[in-house]
Structure 1
Amino acid sequence: MSDKIKNNHTESDASRVLLPNDTPTRTIFKSSSHWAVVGIFLLLILATIAHARDFLVPVALGVLLALVFSPVRRFLERRKLPSAISSMIIVSGLIMLIGLGLSTLADPVQSWIKEAPTIGFKLEQKLRGANKSAKAVIDAGKQIEQITSVENEGEKVQKVSTREPGVLVKLATSVPELLAQVLFTLVLLFFLLASGDMFYEKLVHIMPTFKDKRNAIRISYDIERKLSNYLFTITLINAALGVAIGVSMWLLGMPNPTLFGVLAFAFNFVPYLGAIVGVAITALVGLLTFDHTGVALLPALAYLILTVVEGQLATPYFVGRRLEMNPVVIFLSVALWAWLWSIVGMLVAVSLLVAVRTFCEHIPSLQAFGNFLSARGSENFHPENSETET
């Protein structure tokens, strides 16, 4: 009996000793479960963004454009113009700019479409040597496949091949959807601008304390100001780059230099990838235009030099250190949003990064993440109101 009591006493002591050691295990399990839920939630958000892009893309564009043009609206309102009239002026001006750009591109694009067979023939002539090498490799692969494949004469399967629609057919079928999204974006932009500061007033009303109200307005206005300044400055820089590239293409004897200028302006809104695509297109057109390879590559070299000067000198000088972003983060963000929203995703990727970084600057617990998004040398830039708390 005494041994049994002693054993029970020993087991109870052991259980009391092991209970504290179980606490870290339970904590780790709870932490793992928490991060698993967070990961699943993020995956669901990404899936929703990708699945609902036909709706979310024009909404995102409308909100970004409203943030960009809000200072213009306030300027017009200070001139005693109502919000509805100011919004109508802004949207009408934007429609005129879009129409001007499309009319500028219409003639060069039509001429390129008409000359597509000739361009294809010239490209085939230029790349005939490469085609011969590739054909030899393909033929060798077919021979190896025939040697290693098992012949089955008893069964003959009839293959049915379907011809996919051409590029022009795909473009024609996508035009109505594109026009609908553009119209939706412009209408949403008008309503957002015409509402004035209504959303800021609603934001103030839902905040519980005066400090929260002040911080919310401060963060909102700072995001609007920085995003507007960034996009306005980048637009001017890209316009200057487009003019420089258009003039250089004209001096080098390239066809349709205006088209190259407009494309350079549009491509440069996509960091890194836009410049690569522009250089590749310029090199291809140069090879089709000139007979000598060295002369044919001069336009692409000029395009590359101008984009490097813009990226390394002009943009850092005019944009400033405070809005410079981590190049790796920019590249990954552009790739992610391109996967989610295609071309529009690439256009809005950097703007979203600027908004996220500005928000992080005002939240002490997120300032480390904001520094991670910033470029080297701009980690210590914090707003004066760094005491802002959530």
Structure 2
Amino acid sequence: MTVSTTSPKGGPQTKVLKTLLLLAVIYTLYLAKSLLIPLFFSAFVALLLSPLVAIARRIYIPRTISAAALMVLLLTPFTFLGLQLAEPAERWMQALPKMAAEITEEINEISDSLVEESEKPVAEPQEEESDSFFDWFGDDDDEKEAEKAESPPEEQNTVSDKLKQNSIEMAISVLSNAPLLLAQIFACLIFIFFLLVFGPGLFKVFIRDFPIVTNKRRALVLVHHIQTELSAYIVTISIINALLGTATAIVFTYLGIDDAILWGALVALMNFVPYLGGLASCSILLVAGMVQFGLVSTAFLPAAVFLGINILESQLITPAVLGRSMQLNPLIIILWLSVAGWLWGIVGVLLAVPLLMSFKIILKNLGALPHWVRLIETK
């Protein structure tokens, strides 16, 4: 009698292998992020633009010409907007150390007044006790009180210097990462162009000749479904965020807030990150209000105005436009944003929701893991 050495389905060895495989995939995604980020971003953009190239091909326009024209149309508005925002963005970057110093000084003044008020009732009993019993220690007590009075400003100056140093380091890190960012943008443009020109031909060969694709018709339907739903989602979200940024810039201009176009573009970009993007925008606008108006109630005006516009957009407009088919569970989104941000940084956070949408569409069309699909869609 022979004894089978294979482990049963779902046994301990299989679970260990699956866990190791998952850890290996996560490590690979983290290690190869400099290569995978441009590839994924280019794939999403090419997926959105490929139907337009196909339409141009039907009227006998070569793919090279239509892809180049689409790239120019795509880059022109962003280049114009970048030129318009370059000067105010540079001015704010240069003003970061000064802003940190001014805010720190005002906070120090408030903390000094609070410390003085809290120390007044404590100092009186000590003086009475020293006068009545330990008069010969009076000089030492005076020296200690003088040291206590002198120590808080030193500590506060140290905190101020640290804040200034941190702001300078942040500005230096942003400038030092600029070449890498420009290189990744250039790589994305090249990938998008070549995917638009040569991607459809490679995809047809892959579907037709590779044995890994067993159901060719189903694969074509799946890719078309992903392209349709993802395109609808990204285009709709882009239009909503553009309108949000435009409305914010118009209201800020009316209220006399400086650099309204810069803040409108910032909140439009940050709003691609659900929930967390709005909170980050409110925090940035709160700092901008404190810099422009000082530590007064008016400093809350930019953040409060944007919060009202954002609530109107997120609670009324976006759910009505997208509908239930595009909705995702908020907790799943937050967890997924955390994982994507840990793996790929800011770009990973921006790509997190499209990746989650693609994952959900693939599982739904293949009929695989229906419990995961329900978990992602649960409200």
TM (norm. structure 1) is: 0.77
Compared CA separation, residues 340 and 134, structure 1 to 2 (3 A): farther
Q: Say if 2:178 is the partner of 1:198.
A: no
Mapped to 2, the partners of 1:46 and 1:219 lie a distance apart of 25
Shift in alpha-carbon separation, 1:133–1:357, aligned structure 2, 3 A: farther
Secondary structure in 2 matching 1:122: helix
Letter in 1 for 2:182: L
The separation in 2 between residues aligned to 1:210 and 1:281, in whole angstroms, is: 49
Q: Which of 216, 228, 231 is the aligned partner of 2:231?
A: 228
Q: Residue 255 of structure 1: SS of its match in structure 2? A: coil
| Contact kept in structure 2, 1:203 and 1:216, CA below 8 Å | no
* CA distance in 2: counterparts of 1:177 and 1:197, whole angstroms: 30
* TM-fit CA distance, 1:200: 3.3
Q: Does 1:251 align with 2:231?
A: no
Say if 2:93 and 2:171, in contact at 8 Å, map to a contact too. no
Per-residue Cα deviation, 1:68-91 (whole angstroms, up to 9, x for no partner): 111222233233311111111122
Q: Say yes or no: does 1:272 pair with 2:279.
A: no
Where does structure 1 lack aligned partners over 5 or more consecutive residues?
A: 1-21, 137-142, 144-162, 377-390
- Residue correspondence of structure 1 range 1-390 to structure 2 within 5 A: 27=8, 31-129=11-109, 132=112, 166-195=169-198, 197-206=200-209, 212-291=215-294, 293-376=296-379
Whole-angstrom distance in 1 between the partners of 2:269 and 2:212: 45
| Counterpart Cα distance in 1 of 2:228 and 2:219 | 14
Give the secondary structure class of the aligned counterpart of 2:29: helix
Looking at structure 2, the residues matched to 270 and 206 of structure 1 have their Cα atoms a distance apart, in angstroms, of: 39
| Offset, 1:35 | 1.3
What displacement does 1:253 show? Answer: 2.3
Deviations 1:224-268 (A, max 9, x none): 111111111111000000011112222222111111100011101
Does the 8 Å contact 1:268/1:275 carry over to 2? yes
Report the Cα distance in structure 1 between the residues aligned to 2:298 and 2:171, rounded to whole angstroms.
Answer: 32
Structure 1 residue 352 displacement after superposition: 0.4
From the superposition, tell whether residues 202 and 286 of structure 1 become closer, same or farther in structure 2 (CA, over 3 Å): same
Q: How large is the RMSD of aligned CA atoms in angstroms?
A: 3.0
- Describe the shift of the 1:47–1:200 C-alpha distance in structure 2 as closer, same or farther (beyond 3 A): same
- The CA deviation at 1:291 is 4.5
Q: Larger deviation: 183-192 or 90-99?
A: 90-99
SS at match of 1:195: helix
Q: What are the superposed Cα offsets for residues 37-86 of structure 1, whole Å, 9 maximum, x if unpaired?
A: 11111111111111111111111111111111112222332333111111
Q: Say if 1:353 and 1:44 are closer, same or farther in 2 by CA, change over 3 A.
A: same
The separation in 2 between residues aligned to 1:118 and 1:364, in whole angstroms, is 57
CA distance in 1, matches of 2:112, 2:279: 27
The alpha carbon displacement at 1:295 in A equals: 2.1
Q: In structure 2, how many angstroms separate the alpha carbons of the residues matched to 1:258 and 1:281?
A: 14
Instruction: Using the TM superposition, name which of 246-255 and 328-337 deviates more.
Output: 246-255
**Distance 1:44-1:130 versus aligned 2 partners, 3 A rule:** farther
Q: What letter matches 1:67 in structure 2?
A: L
CA distance in 1, matches of 2:299, 2:195: 48
The one-letter amino acid paired with 2:357 is V
Return the TM-score normalized by structure 2. Answer: 0.79
Residues matched between the structures, number:
330
**Residue type matched to 1:312 in 2?**
Q
Worse-superposed segment, 222-231 or 112-121: 112-121
Question: SS in structure 1 opposite 2:258?
Answer: coil
The answer to whether the 8 Å contact 1:203/1:213 transfers is: no
- For the residues of structure 1 that align with 2:175 and 2:295, how far apart are their CA atoms? 37
**Structure 2: tracts of 5 or more residues without a match:** 117-147, 149-164
